């Protein structure tokens, strides 16, 4: 699971070199690890847009989501 978080972080960070905002579609997400929550919450909110996020994950992330 930690490997997935590391890969997602690297992909988001790399993509932010080319664009202002990274969009993540959480429509198929059914769970998230503590490490995933920590990583996503560490990213600048203005650079991360989470779409179709289930309510329970949105509460864990404490981020505004759109979609």
- pLDDT tens readout for residues 24-60: 999 999 999 999 999 999 998 899 999 999 999 999 8
Better-predicted residue by pLDDT, 21 or 62: 21
Q: Is the pLDDT of residue 64 over 50?
A: no
pLDDT recorded at residue 31: 93
Rounded-to-integer distance, Cα 10 and Cα 54, Å: 24
Axis crossing angle, helix 2-15 with helix 34-42, rounded to the nearest 10: 20
Say which DSSP state 50 is in. E
What phi and psi values does residue 26 have, to the nearest 5 degrees? Answer: -100, 20
* Extents of the domains making up the chain: 2-61
Q: φ, ψ for residue 52 (rounded to 5)? A: 55, 45
């Amino acid at each position: 699971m930690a490997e997935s978080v590391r890969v997602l972080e690297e992909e988001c960070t790399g993509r932010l070199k080319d664009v202002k905002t990274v969009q993540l579609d959480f429509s198929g997400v059914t769970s998230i690890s503590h490490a995933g929550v920590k990583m996503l919450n560490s990213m600048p909110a203005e650079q991360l847009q989470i779409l179709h996020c289930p309510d329970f994950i949105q509460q864990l992330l404490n981020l505004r989501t759109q979609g």
